[in-house]
Amino acid sequence: MVVGRIGWQIRILSGARLSSTDLSLDVHRHEAVEEPERMEMNRKRVLLVLLVVVILAAGYGTFVVRRGFSAADQPSTVEKFMAQTVRNLGIPRSARSMKNPLTITPELLQEGRDSFTNRCAGCHGKDGDGHTGIGPNLYPKAPELRLPATQNLTDGEIHYIIRNGVRLTGMPALGNPHMSEDDNTAWKLVHFIRSISLTTPQQKVERTATASTAHYVGSATCEKCHAQIYERWKKTPMANVVRDPREHPDAIIPNLATNNVSPKFTKDQVAFVYGRVWKQRYFTKIGDDYYPEPAQWDVTNKMWRPYFVANGTDWWSTLYPPDNMKRPTGPTCDGCHSVNYDIQTKQVAEWNVGCEKCHGPGSAHVEQPTQGNIVNPARMDYISANDTCIQCHSQGRPVTSPIEGKYYDWSVGFHVGLNLRDYWQLEDHKLGELSFTHFPDGTAHKNRMQGNDFVQSVMYRRGVTCFDCHDVHGTENYAELRKPVNQICLDCHGPGSRNGPREATLAEHTHHKDGSTGSECVACHMSKIEVTIPGVFVSAHTFAFIPPTMTDKYKIPNPCTSCHMDKTTAWAADAMRHWPERSPWRAE
């Protein structure tokens, strides 16, 4: 190399004329000398990188060995990053770009929910949060599907993971890769996983901005884009709580002339009809206010009953004159039976429980639909989601009372997206005391206290929401249940499941024949003991079994003798003590 340079320099210095061939030979000679040096340098670099990798691997291996191989440990950040990177790189490019071929509908989404419950919820939880008895004990952990790490994947990537599973994890493949039915199931699951995503920080900012500028537009406006849901909803009790008999000639159920419990009133005096399931009440309008007539129709027993809120039967009864015509429905009823009741103007955006009661004002969403400019309770945390229902399905009073000199029996100022606890407090109860609102153990004693019951339940503490069981948009089942009653319970509480019952069959658990009334889950766990009108009862929502001995001690009706009315509590308690699989302490 040095000789080459010297020769070149001598030639130049001596004035010798260089040909292109001479220059080429010198360059090649120079490169030939440098090539071995470059190769040696690269070899050393590769060896150095390999040495670093080996040292790191040895160090990590030593750490793992000393720490142990417990699946209960949390994967390190490096492990998570490497695992997700390798998983994502393993998804073919063609699969990543795939679009969901199935058009989303309420029915398809329900099918996706059912598949998720049956196949995925054991590890991922019913709503994808991963908080189950299995998910947190896997290694790696079952991911929380609601978070961006999953939601930011493409439809194709999620579909590929569902169909093919993930090696060296607890994630199995869905099924036979050659069956189109399984492929459709996978795409339905993709739709459901998309539906459970949590509201992102950006969407929260957008929602907050929207709440200050958007206005109410009415449920009919929603029909344009949500026609199927609207058609189902408009047939529900939610959409028909309040009806004007001039607009709905069939609204009044009985013949008003047969009223034999109060002074007569005519159809012309009825401005609004309230209710049609258990009872029906009639409101007359005086000025800007509505007032209840002193008679109500018992729908179940087809008979007239007096209507008057007596002292001791509601917290506000002594705060208003003992006269129905001096007790306007604005403070006592209308806030829950309408959308956005204005306590100053006494006007509503819409009568009945319309779309915007649960989803907030919709003008911005109508103008430019995005997930961020409308409220979706299904994408909230379980407390806020349940508060959407609890705001009206509970007995309580406003945190501040009176408000502008009046006593309101609903959460004035609250709308979805706010914290209900800042506006509403549930009715207090002292354990051991029987009151108009509560049994001595704290179970509700009257109707419209589903929220009071539910917040005491194990279901609530586990993050279950009202709409896990009910679909207020309308179904063909009783109480707008998503499925017939036993089916929806057995989705999570099938025989032998971790959630109970522990027995191999339902008959072994209930000690009643399959298909009988006594074999229904709700017969024992949702006893109809809460009064909606004298002699008519609705289900408790604590989901707790009330043993016969509780009836003896605290006068709380139990499901055994409520059904077997010719038997005594002693008979029922003795029968339970002889159930071999049942703890004797559950009978006490």
Q: Is 22's pLDDT higher than 60?
A: no
Task: Indicate the helix (H) or strand (E) that contains 304.
Answer: strand 303-306
Contact between 472 and 480 under an 8 Å Cβ cutoff? The reply is yes
25 and 82 fall within a common domain: no
Q: Which two tokens stand for residue 424?
A: 């509403």
Instruction: Give me the domain span that covers residue 479.
Output: 377-519
Is 306 a member of any domain? Answer: no
Percent of the chain at pLDDT > 70 equals: 92
Which is higher by pLDDT, 489 or 78? 489
Peptide bond into 440 cis (omega under 30): no
* Rounded mean pLDDT, 327-343: 97
412 and 456 fall within a common domain: yes
* Rounded mean pLDDT, 110-127: 90
Q: Which two tokens stand for residue 391?
A: 């705001």
**Confidence class of residue 67 from pLDDT cuts 50, 70 and 90?**
low
Q: Please state which of the ranges 74-78, 275-279, 345-349, 515-519 shows the lowest mean pLDDT.
A: 74-78
Is 222 a member of any domain? Answer: no
415 and 453 fall within a common domain: yes
pLDDT, position 15: 45
Is 144 a member of any domain? Answer: yes
**Confidence class of residue 7 from pLDDT cuts 50, 70 and 90?**
very low
pLDDT, position 156: 96
53 and 122 fall within a common domain: no
Is 39 a member of any domain? Answer: yes
CA distance 430 to 442: 8
| Stated length of the chain | 588
478 and 515 fall within a common domain: yes
- The residues with which 470 forms a beta bridge, in sequence order, are 481
pLDDT, position 218: 97
End position of a domain, from candidates 519, 539, 572: 519
CA distance 159 to 187: 6
pLDDT, position 580: 85
* Rounded mean pLDDT, 480-497: 89
Give the total number of structural domains in the chain: 3
Q: Is 12's pLDDT higher than 80?
A: no
pLDDT, position 16: 45
Contact between 548 and 560 under an 8 Å Cβ cutoff? The reply is yes
Burial 324-335 (b: 16+ CB within 10 A, else e): beebbbbbbbbb
Kindly report, residue by residue over 430-444, the tens digit of the pLDDT: 999 999 999 999 999
DSSP letters, 27-75, are HHHHHHHHHHHHHHHHHHHHHHHHHHHHHHHHHHHHHHHHH---TTSPP
444 and 410 fall within a common domain: yes
Q: Is 2's pLDDT higher than 60?
A: no
CA distance 314 to 334: 16
Domain of residue 99, CATH code: 1.10.760.10
Kindly report, residue by residue over 238-288, the tens digit of the pLDDT: 999 999 999 999 999 999 999 999 999 999 999 999 999 999 999 999 999
Is 137 a member of any domain? Answer: yes
33 and 97 fall within a common domain: no
End position of a domain, from candidates 195, 226, 251: 195
**Confidence class of residue 180 from pLDDT cuts 50, 70 and 90?**
low
Rounded to whole angstroms, what are the CA distances from 412 to 302, 334, 426, 543? 35, 11, 14, 30
Q: Please state which of the ranges 37-51, 221-235, 365-379, 445-459 shows the lowest mean pLDDT.
A: 37-51
60 and 87 fall within a common domain: no
CA neighbor of 309 nearest in space, from 441, 452, 430, 409: 409
CA distance 397 to 394: 9
End position of a domain, from candidates 144, 163, 195: 195
161 and 137 fall within a common domain: yes
* Rounded mean pLDDT, 33-50: 77
Note the pTM of the prediction, 2 decimals: 0.83
Is 32 a member of any domain? Answer: yes
**Confidence class of residue 132 from pLDDT cuts 50, 70 and 90?**
confident
383 and 511 fall within a common domain: yes
Is 576 a member of any domain? Answer: no
96 and 166 fall within a common domain: yes
* Rounded mean pLDDT, 91-113: 92
Q: Is 3's pLDDT higher than 70?
A: no
62 and 81 fall within a common domain: no
Q: Is 358's pLDDT higher than 50?
A: yes
Task: Indicate the helix (H) or strand (E) that contains 273.
Answer: strand 272-274
Mean pLDDT, the chain, whole residue set:
89
Is 467 a member of any domain? Answer: yes
Task: Indicate the helix (H) or strand (E) that contains 79.
Answer: helix 77-89
